[in-house]
Amino acid sequence: MDPANNSWPSGRSCAVSVSIDVLGDALVARGNGPDRPLKHRSSARYGLYEGAARLLDVLTARGLPADWYFTAAAAADRPHLAERVSSVGHGIGFHCLPMESRDDRARHRLARDLAGGRALLHAITGQPVEGFRMTSSDWHPGVPEHAVDAGFRWSSSLVVDDVPFWLGTSGLLEIPVRHEWDLAQYLAFNLQPAFPPGQGRIASSRTVFGNLRAEIAGAARWGTSVVLRLPADVAGTPARAAAIGDLLDWALAQNAWMCSHRDLLDRCHAGPPDPQPHAYDRFLAWRAEVA
């Protein structure tokens, strides 16, 4: 799908999808028993206890779809949360943990993780698990084939574009994200260990939601798509969740198509082929030239 060919359903101006990352504390938990550090872990678990439910309420009040990307650990920790999200019709996707290295062993482990995560989420929710998300910089040229082998039909991982595109000839669709749509980029903070590494100040709500409104206005102007990326632990506080609700109301007023990632997959299957190869295809071709 190419922006020049974009025609969203019913004359809508752009596509806006909501994605929620439910990571839990898989990235921060260290140690076991009474000596296990609790403070950092507790911040990460806020999404499991409070944030996810509040974001679900925001969506339910507006009748809007969303895609929820659970880590295996978060889904196993709170299976009733994944069940509840699934039972009201939202999409369930798998969120891979970042790779600790880029060697061949780690790459093969990724293939196993994709299959295992999908099976776990399917067992908990009973619904097909067709999408996954992973760290963009962990992506390597073999990922699409691994993902298709594991049964996935789309990824929402690469921070590269503002319209969905097919990943080579793998049959896997990429629904790309961008850092400027990610609330973690603006709002995530931890004192020790430091995050972000330079400990830049938490952005003001005026900056975050002003920028996001500009993103949706720009998408409407140029016919592109926006994938809002909401980490449940960061985005699900009372005031931020309310501001997200206001943003979604505003997007509806801009005549945006509020869609799920499955909707985007169906749309791309039905749409015309790209008039020119996507950058991803050229990457594969030019990479072969220099090899």
Q: Binding residue for other proteins (CB under 8 A) from 31, 33, 63, 198? A: 198
Give the C-alpha separation, 156 to 132, whole Å.
Answer: 6
Tell me if residue 27 falls in helix, strand or coil.
coil
Q: Which is nearer to other proteins, 102 or 269 (CB)?
A: 102
Q: To the nearest whole angstrom, how small is the minimum distance from the Cβ of residue 97 to other proteins?
A: 15
Q: Which stretch binds other proteins (CB under 8 A): 30-38, 84-92, 215-223, 243-251?
A: 215-223
* Angle 242-72-186 from CA coordinates, rounded to 5°: 35
What is the bridge-based pairing of β-strands 165-166 and 173-174? antiparallel
The reply on whether position 238 binds other proteins by CB under 8 A is: no
Q: Which is nearer to other proteins, 76 or 284 (CB)?
A: 284
Q: Binding residue for other proteins (CB under 8 A) from 81, 110, 129, 219? A: 219
The reply on whether position 180 binds other proteins by CB under 8 A is: yes
53 φ, ψ to 5°?
Answer: -65, -40
Q: How many residues bind other proteins (CB under 8 A)?
A: 52
Q: Binding residue for other proteins (CB under 8 A) from 69, 94, 166, 280? A: 280
Q: Which stretch binds other proteins (CB under 8 A): 26-34, 44-52, 103-111, 278-286?
A: 278-286
Decide if 76 contacts 121 (C-beta within 8 A).
Answer: no
The reply on whether position 37 binds other proteins by CB under 8 A is: no
Q: What is the chain's Cα-based Rg? A: 19
Give the C-alpha separation, 231 to 21, whole Å.
Answer: 5
Decide if 252 contacts 199 (C-beta within 8 A).
Answer: no
What secondary structure letter does DSSP report for 233? H
Q: Which is nearer to other proteins, 185 or 237 (CB)?
A: 185
Q: Which is nearer to other proteins, 90 or 278 (CB)?
A: 278
Enumerate residues 130-169 that contact other proteins by CB under 8 A.
135-141, 158-162
174 φ, ψ to 5°?
Answer: -100, 125
Rounded alpha-carbon distances, angstroms, from residue 155 to 170, 212, 218, 244, 279? 12, 22, 24, 24, 16
The residues, any chain, with a CB within 8 Å of residue 104's CB and separated by 6 or more, are none
Q: Which is nearer to other proteins, 27 or 119 (CB)?
A: 27
Q: Which is nearer to other proteins, 80 or 206 (CB)?
A: 206
Q: Which is nearer to other proteins, 78 or 165 (CB)?
A: 165
* CA-closest candidate to residue 174, choices 199, 148, 201, 209: 148
Interface positions with other proteins (CB under 8 A): 3, 102, 135-141, 158-162, 178-180, 185-186, 196-204, 206-207, 210-212, 214-219, 221-222, 224, 278-280, 282-284, 286-287, 290-291
